Amino acid sequence: MIQFWEEHKKKIIAIVAIAIVAIALFAGGKNLNASALESVIGFVVTPFQDLTTGIESWVDSTADSAKDKTSLLEENAQLKEDLAKLQDENKRLEQYENENETLSSLLKISQKYPDYKSTGTKIIAKNPGVWYNTFTINKGTDDAVSANMILIAPGGIVGKILESGATYSKAQSILDSRSAVPAMSIRTGDLGVVKGDYTLMNDGLCKMEYIDGEAQVAVGDEIVTSQLSDVYPEGLSIGKVTKIETDTNGLTKYAIIEPFVDLKHLDTLLVIDKNTLEEAP
């Protein structure tokens, strides 16, 4: 409609004006002189010109408004697209930053044990469930990774390798019921064994057993690997004591341990081979 008016508005105005003049002449008869004719034309045409001018202005204004609205909608759509791209880029940058922090933390751990060979690895699969009790990593015998090598995250130990294929390895965490880690309290030096327990695993906890009945281990103590382990280096952080109970025999105690590592959210780990020393430069 607007386009038709734009193309033909002058013709329409002229036709309507001529029609009105003709009607006026017919109504006034043939005796009207030039002055009277001009008056009639002016009387009839002038208001119509004002009306058509107003209509033309309204149509022009409406057309301009429609163009502006279309332009704003297109600009808004482009801004939304640009914002989505920026949000995606920001997420990627945050992910890279988190990965860099993790790798930096793992590097610091490896520097604490410079005599042992170590390599980074990523988890590629896990058993069903919320917690990482058993899982698979992307390093195997092709990378000199084999059974009984230990796995570490920034907070402390995660577990150890159970078996290796050429390009992968299966591992268990300290939450697994088959896991047993010789441990001790840093504060008191009291010894025990940190073991996985089915009844505690769903809460992300494990148990330190075989603690002497006279031991002074207390809630809040930090538990680390002891010198009695033939798999784990001494002094690796395991977790903290959240509860102490006396066994039914009355001779020993056990403690509930909350691991320092977040065993619900694991990704990048460090593999350390305690039995293979780095060659001196």
- Kindly report, residue by residue over 159-196, the tens digit of the pLDDT: 999 999 999 999 999 999 999 999 999 999 999 999 99
Banded pLDDT at 3 (limits 50, 70, 90): low
- Predicted confidence at residue 178, as pLDDT, reads 93
C-alpha–C-alpha distance, residues 115 and 235, integer Å: 15
C-alpha–C-alpha distance, residues 44 and 66, integer Å: 33
Domain boundaries, the chain: 1-112, 116-277
Name the phi and psi angles at 131, rounded to 5: -95, 155
- Predicted confidence at residue 197, as pLDDT, reads 94
Banded pLDDT at 237 (limits 50, 70, 90): very high
Residues 6+ apart with CB under 8 A from 178: 172, 196
- The residue ranking higher by pLDDT, 186 or 108, is 186
Of 137, 153, 171, 151, nearest in space to 233 by CA = 151
**pLDDT reading at 5 higher than 80:** no
Q: What is the mean pLDDT of residues 244-265?
A: 94
Of 64, 59, 61, 48, nearest in space to 8 by CA = 59
C-alpha–C-alpha distance, residues 154 and 105, integer Å: 5
Q: What is the mean pLDDT of residues 242-263?
A: 95
- Predicted confidence at residue 31, as pLDDT, reads 47
| CATH class of the domain at 116-277 | mainly beta
Exposed / middle / buried, residue 164 (Cβ in 10 Å: 0-12, 13-18, 19+): buried
- Predicted confidence at residue 32, as pLDDT, reads 45
Tens digit of each residue's pLDDT (9 = 90 or more) over 62-86: 666 777 777 777 778 787 877 777 7
Q: What is the pTM of this model?
A: 0.64
Q: What is the mean pLDDT of residues 149-168?
A: 94
DSSP E strands: which ranges in the chain?
A: 116-126, 134-137, 150-153, 156-164, 169-173, 180-185, 191-195, 206-212, 222-225, 237-246, 252-259, 268-277
Mean model confidence pLDDT for the chain: 81
C-alpha–C-alpha distance, residues 150 and 174, integer Å: 11
- Predicted confidence at residue 81, as pLDDT, reads 78
Residues 6+ apart with CB under 8 A from 104: none
Angstrom distances, CA of residue 96 to CA of 100, 103, 110, 139, 256: 6, 10, 21, 21, 35
- The residue ranking higher by pLDDT, 160 or 37, is 160
Tokens of 165: 């294929």
